Amino acid sequence: MSETSKSTPTRPKKLAGVESWDMETDVAIVGFGGAGSCAAIEASDAGADVIIFEVSAASGGSTALSSAEVYMGGSGGTSVQKACGYEDTTEDMFNFLMAAQGELADEDKIRMYCDNSVEHFDWLVEMGAKYKNSEYKERAIMAVTDDCLLYTGNEKSYPFREIAKPCPRGHNLEVEGDNGGPMLMGVLTEQVEKRPIRVEYNARALTLIADEDGSIHGLVVRIDNQERTVRARRGVILCAGGFAMNQKMLEKHVPQASIGNVPVGNPGDTGNGILMGQGAGGAVLHMNEAFITLPFYPPGSLTFGIFVNAQAQRFINEDIYHARMAHHILKQSGKGIYLIVNHDDYEHPPFLNADIAGTGETIEELAEEIGLDPDMLRHTIEFYNKHAAKGDDPLFHKHEAWLKPIEPPYAALDCTPGSGALFPYFTFGGLDTLPTGEVLTMEREVIPGLYAAGRTACGVPRTSAGYGSGMSVGDATYFGRVAGKSVAGRKD
């Protein structure tokens, strides 16, 4: 690690070695996606000078590529929730999110997120985000109409419905099709442009600049193939996304993501922000956790089916969110995961891109086609059917709305990881931060001047077991704002 001219993210540049500053600002932000834009707006509104460094030629980040649903509620409900007849309490939202994140939950972040969620909704509206006072009632992974409110998580499924009163909290923008991401980033970009915020595009952040005590004073960026030193008097906010696009980091930290076939994110999600933070002494947290999903609906009617493993056993209630299903698929022993449905509940082609592994007029015929033990499959289907006919699922407590006997003719969709079925993924692991965005050492000491938000940090969403659409963009935009205010409030 002898000093060379080449900067690497995990080796901060020494403040003493900075001969002159090429740029100076109060707040330097790495990344112009959901987190970075919100951080910039709030820091600027708090009176700070701000420069955003974006590695690509335009704003957007991974938020622009998402549906940009935002998970919001509590405090009696957002105006949309209220208009749709829902009175959402903060405690229900909090209890749900705590249960959803389970043993990985960051209580402080979840508490703050829930307490301020309606305020965040109002702020997004103030920024220009448009939400219609309407509900999208299909079981869907995203609204494809311009309707707003939809269930995007496991709220109505067991055990969550017994822990907190279910309420839809996914807020979809008023736009047809899956076009929320560009719309949200359009709105936020416009707000950035309205303010005295400088944006440097095609600017690659290389490493942080730290003093003898480890405090952060700026960063080195490469612009026009030149390394530039940037002084950030109040601090640097890393909003550079996760590492879904860094194959080496994935193999090292999230080997189970190798079953994934569609990385979700933009090409800049290389983990660079995480590496920069870690090099400056920041701790990383839950680097093994990722959103890995099997979007097995729409159509919602497939939820009437049952998932079975290689032993022809059911293993979870099928009315759960799609990433929770993938989470449980990855826990099964042996090779083979099938979604068994009655022919009439199937629509071709399925969104999840699964092949039909087999069909049958009888259970035995189906079992033979898909290579499962016929006695096991018969018992599984008959046991399920017997109870489903009574609106009951004694094993996994699937909601009665999705219970009906599965009658022949049967179809089995091949959902085996690696079979070709769609398994999108992105990363949850990142820098350990306080809710304020301050990056922590492994002993949870604050690194002065260093902040992170969005998927560069380990935020509210931490596990596929409890993820719901809108949690990542919600976390990124909300905690991006908080980080922007925090750093602006720090004295130089």
Residue 442: CB minimum distance to its own copies, A: 5
Instruction: Give the x/- contact pattern for its own copies in 18-57, rule: CB under 8 A.
Output: ----------------------------------------
Tokens describing residue 417: 């990881």
Restricting to residues 448-487, name those near its own copies by CB under 8 A: 448
Residue 330: CB minimum distance to its own copies, A: 9
Restricting to residues 250-279, name those near its own copies by CB under 8 A: 252-253, 255-256, 258, 274-275, 278-279
Residue 248: CB minimum distance to its own copies, A: 8
Among candidates 123, 121, 112, which has minimal Cα distance to 172?
121
What is the gyration radius of the CA atoms in the chain, in angstroms?
24
Q: Per the omega criterion (within 30 degrees of 0), is the bond before 182 cis?
A: no
Among candidates 140, 172, 141, 179, which has minimal Cα distance to 60?
179
293 part of the interface to its own copies, by CB under 8 A: no
Q: Using CA atoms, how far apart are residues 208 and 8, in angstroms rounded to an integer?
A: 9
Stretch that binds its own copies, among 231-239, 280-288, 361-369, 402-410 (CB under 8 A): 280-288
161 part of the interface to its own copies, by CB under 8 A: no
396 part of the interface to its own copies, by CB under 8 A: yes
Instruction: Give the x/- contact pattern for its own copies in 425-454, rule: CB under 8 A.
Output: -------x--------xxx-xxxx------
Amino acid at 78: T
358 part of the interface to its own copies, by CB under 8 A: no
Residue 448: CB minimum distance to its own copies, A: 6
The two beta strands, 262-263 and 424-427, are parallel
391 part of the interface to its own copies, by CB under 8 A: no
In the list 70, 80, 98, 316, the residue contacting its own copies (rule: CB under 8 A) is: 316
- Three-state DSSP at 365 gives helix
The two beta strands, 204-210 and 13-14, are parallel
Q: Using CA atoms, how far apart are residues 386 and 447, in angstroms rounded to an integer?
A: 59
Amino acid at 106: D
Contact 43, 489 (CB under 8 A): no
Residue 181: CB minimum distance to its own copies, A: 29
Q: Using CA atoms, how far apart are residues 201 and 59, in angstroms rounded to an integer?
A: 8
Stretch that binds its own copies, among 65-73, 118-126, 348-356, 391-399 (CB under 8 A): 391-399
Residue 333: CB minimum distance to its own copies, A: 6
- Three-state DSSP at 306 gives strand
Tokens describing residue 161: 């419905």
Instruction: Give the x/- contact pattern for its own copies in 113-152, rule: CB under 8 A.
Output: ----------------------------------------
Q: Which residues contact 252 (CB under 8 A, 6 or more apart)?
A: none
CA angle at residue 50 from 281 to 67, to 5 degrees? 80
392 part of the interface to its own copies, by CB under 8 A: no
Q: Cβ atoms within 10 A of the Cβ of 283, count?
A: 18
Q: Using CA atoms, how far apart are residues 67 and 242, in angstroms rounded to an integer?
A: 17
Stretch that binds its own copies, among 60-68, 128-136, 342-350, 393-401 (CB under 8 A): 393-401
Q: Which residues contact 31 (CB under 8 A, 6 or more apart)?
A: 52, 53, 54, 55, 61, 238, 239, 240, 241, 268, 273, 454, 456
Residue 356: CB minimum distance to its own copies, A: 24
In the list 137, 163, 383, 490, the residue contacting its own copies (rule: CB under 8 A) is: 383
Nearer to its own copies, 85 or 334 (CB): 334
Instruction: Give the x/- contact pattern for its own copies in 195-234, rule: CB under 8 A.
Output: -----------------xxxx-------------------
Nearer to its own copies, 281 or 295 (CB): 281
- Three-state DSSP at 287 gives coil
Stretch that binds its own copies, among 56-64, 116-124, 234-242, 374-382 (CB under 8 A): 374-382
Q: Using CA atoms, how far apart are residues 18 and 236, in angstroms rounded to an integer?
A: 17
Residue 243: CB minimum distance to its own copies, A: 10
Q: Cβ atoms within 10 A of the Cβ of 443, count?
A: 7
Q: Using CA atoms, how far apart are residues 77 and 81, in angstroms rounded to an integer?
A: 5
Nearer to its own copies, 225 or 333 (CB): 333
Among candidates 336, 352, 354, 329, which has minimal Cα distance to 464?
329
Nearer to its own copies, 39 or 274 (CB): 274
CA angle at residue 259 from 258 to 262, to 5 degrees? 90
103 part of the interface to its own copies, by CB under 8 A: yes
Stretch that binds its own copies, among 130-138, 160-168, 231-239, 369-377 (CB under 8 A): 369-377
294 part of the interface to its own copies, by CB under 8 A: no
Q: Is the dihedral of CA 106, 271, 326, 259 positive or negative?
A: negative
Give the residues lining the site for its own copies (CB under 8 A): 1-3, 8-11, 14, 103-104, 212-215, 252-253, 255-256, 258, 274-275, 278-279, 281, 283-289, 311, 313-316, 328, 331, 333-334, 373, 375-376, 379, 383, 394-396, 432, 441-443, 445-448
